[in-house]
Structure 1
Amino acid sequence: MELFLVMICLLHDVFLLAAAGQETAAPDVPWSQNYAILFGQDHIQFLNQGTEIQLSIDQFSGSGFRSLKTYGSGFFGMRIMLPPGDSTSIITTLYLRSYANKHDEIDFEFLGNSTPPYLLQTNIFTDGRGGREQRIRLWFDPTKDFHDYRVLWNQHQVVWFVDDLPIRVFENKVNIGVKFPVQAMQIEATIWTAAWASPSGKTPSWDEGPFRAYFQGLNIDGCVAQNNTIATPCFGSNFWWNGNNYWKLDPNQLKAYLDVRSKYLDYDYCTDGPDHNPECQTQYIG
Structure 2
Amino acid sequence: MKIFVFFLALSGLVGAVFGGNFYKDFDITWGDGRAKILDNGKLLTLSLDKSSGSGFRSKNQYLFGKIDLQIKLVPGNSAGTVTTYYLSSLGSTHDEIDFEFLGNLSAEPYILHTNVYAQGKGDKEQQFYLWFDPTKDFHTYSILWNPLSIIFSVDGTPIRQFKNLESKGVAYPKKQPMWIYSSLWDAEEWATRGGLVKTDWSQAPFTASYTNFNALACTTTASCSANSWFSQALDITGQQRIKWVQKNYMIYNYCTDSKRFPQGFPPECSLV
Using structure 1 for the length normalisation, give the TM-score. 0.83
- Separation in structure 1 between the aligned mates of residue 101 and residue 123 of structure 2, nearest angstrom: 17
Query: What amino acid is aligned across from residue 204 of structure 1 in structure 2?
Result: T
Gaps of at least 5 residues in structure 2 are 1-14
2:192 aligns with: 198
Q: What do residues 206-230 of structure 1 show as CA deviations (whole Å, max 9, x unaligned)?
A: 101110000011232210124xxxx
Equivalent runs, 1:19-38 vs 2, <5 Å? 29-38=20-29
2:228 aligns with: 240
Structure 1 residue 200 displacement after superposition: 4.5
1:256 matched to 2:241: yes
1:209 aligns with: 204
- Separation in structure 2 between the aligned mates of residue 256 and residue 121 of structure 1, nearest angstrom: 18
Structure 1 residue 116 displacement after superposition: 2.3
Query: What amino acid is aligned across from residue 90 of structure 1 in structure 2?
Result: T
Secondary structure of 1:88's counterpart equals coil
Q: What do residues 212-267 of structure 1 show as CA deviations (whole Å, max 9, x unaligned)?
A: 000011232210124xxxxxx87x42222113xx1x31000000110011000100
Query: What amino acid is aligned across from residue 220 of structure 1 in structure 2?
Result: A
Structure 1 residue 25 displacement after superposition: 6.1
Query: Retained in 2: the 8 A contact 1:119–1:137?
Result: yes
1:49 matched to 2:40: yes
Query: What amino acid is aligned across from residue 81 of structure 2 in structure 1?
Result: I
Secondary structure of 2:182's counterpart equals strand
1:70 matched to 2:66: no
Equivalent runs, 1:174-193 vs 2, <5 Å? 174-182=166-174, 183-193=176-186
- Separation in structure 1 between the aligned mates of residue 270 and residue 194 of structure 2, nearest angstrom: 32
Structure 1 residue 80 displacement after superposition: 0.3
Query: What amino acid is aligned across from residue 215 of structure 1 in structure 2?
Result: Y
Secondary structure of 1:91's counterpart equals strand
Q: CA RMSD in A?
A: 1.8
Instruction: Give the share of equivalent positions with the same residue, in percent.
Output: 39
Equivalent residue pairs, number: 250
- Separation in structure 1 between the aligned mates of residue 220 and residue 16 of structure 2, nearest angstrom: 21
Structure 1 residue 281 displacement after superposition: 1.7
Equivalent runs, 1:7-18 vs 2, <5 Å? none
- Separation in structure 2 between the aligned mates of residue 208 and residue 277 of structure 1, nearest angstrom: 41
Equivalent runs, 1:125-136 vs 2, <5 Å? 125-136=117-128
Structure 1 residue 157 displacement after superposition: 0.1
Using structure 2 for the length normalisation, give the TM-score. 0.87
1:88 aligns with: 79
Select the structure with the greater relative contact order (CA < 8 A; seq sep ≥ 6). 2
2:220 aligns with: 225
- Separation in structure 2 between the aligned mates of residue 241 and residue 50 of structure 1, nearest angstrom: 27
Gaps of at least 5 residues in structure 1 are 1-22, 227-232
Moved over 4 A (4+): 23-26
